[in-house]
């Protein structure tokens, strides 16, 4: 990624982490940095907190990487760390940490025991690579399909994005596998009728009781 260089940080923006929020995830970032002291040519030039703040700015505003403000670290450095953290599981580690804390704040056990699984077809941009999209056979809608597994208060446990042509069974099985890995305390899953017996059987093998919830007449949306 080639973008122009950046100057030093001169201002704070609403998406910046507070000191308290940074203290929550800093141990994860510090431990990662200790294991990767020289992962790029940017070593020593940009503080990890600046990298994280820039990632949050880009995610919140949706701006293109090359349009990051000039007082933020360069897109090449920020995207480099983003790619590493996405691929080596660091981002997932942070997400799981925050989910556990959010549950504890609601006076729930940090490990969920039940999930809700669903899938949704979303139209893809005309510029999206053809190999990443497909036609949803049920809804006759082209695009991508997003599968999610959330706990009962709506916190994400697992997510999967595939071509819309992929059957819900394949999505459900993959979501169960990811759930068993990141939240092994889960023993119950509610799903809609789009998920079939193969998902129920796979859940049984994982120790998760999958219940298919039948839609009531004239009911719209998912109702566990």
Q: What is the pLDDT of residues 103-128, one digit of tens each?
A: 999 999 999 999 999 999 988 887 88
Q: Between β-strands 156-163 and 141-151, what pairing exists: parallel, antiparallel or unpaired?
A: antiparallel
- pTM here? 0.80
**Distance between start and end Cα atoms, the chain:** 44
Average pLDDT of the chain is: 88
Residue 125: predicted pLDDT? 80
Q: How far is CA 74 from the centre of its chain?
A: 24
Residue 124: predicted pLDDT? 82
Return the residue matching tokens 């109702």.
223
Question: CA-to-CA distance for 49 and 182, rounded, in angstroms?
Answer: 26
pLDDT in tens, 16-33: 999 999 999 999 999 998
Return the residue matching tokens 């190999």.
131
Domains in the chain, ordered, with CATH? 19-88 (no CATH), 110-212 (3.30.420.10)
CA dihedral 56, 59, 65, 69 (to 10 degrees): -50
Helix or strand run (H / E) with residue 145 = strand 141-151
- Nearest CA to 113 among 179, 68, 65, 196? 179
DSSP code at position 191:
E
Count of alpha carbons within 13 Å of 76, Cβ hemisphere only? 11
DSSP code at position 43:
T
Q: Which residues contact 188 (CB under 8 A, 6 or more apart)?
A: 113, 114, 115, 208, 209, 211
């Amino acid at each position: 990624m080639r973008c122009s260089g950046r100057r030093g940080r001169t201002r704070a923006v609403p998406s910046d982490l507070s000191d308290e929020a940074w203290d929550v995830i800093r141990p994860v970032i510090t431990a990662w940095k200790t294991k990767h002291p020289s992962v790029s040519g940017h070593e020593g030039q940009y503080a990890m907190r600046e990298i994280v703040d820039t990632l949050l700015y880009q995610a919140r505003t949706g701006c293109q990487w090359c349009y990051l403000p000039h007082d933020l670290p360069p897109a090449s450095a920020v995207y480099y760390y983003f790619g590493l953290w996405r691929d080596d599981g660091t981002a997932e580690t942070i997400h799981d940490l925050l989910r556990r804390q959010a549950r504890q704040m609601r006076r729930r056990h940090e490990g969920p025991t039940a999930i809700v699984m669903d899938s949704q077809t979303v139209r893809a941009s005309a510029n999206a690579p053809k190999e990443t999209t497909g036609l949803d056979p049920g809804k006759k809608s082209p695009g991508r399909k997003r599968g999610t597994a959330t706990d009962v208060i709506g916190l994400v446990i697992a997510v999967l994005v595939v071509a819309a042509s992929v059957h819900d069974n394949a999505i459900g099985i993959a979501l169960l596998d990811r759930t068993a890995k990141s939240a092994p305390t889960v023993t119950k899953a509610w799903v809609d009728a789009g998920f079939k017996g193969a998902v129920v059987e796979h859940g049984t093998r994982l120790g998760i009781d999958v219940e298919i919830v039948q839609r009531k007449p004239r009911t719209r949306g998912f109702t566990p």
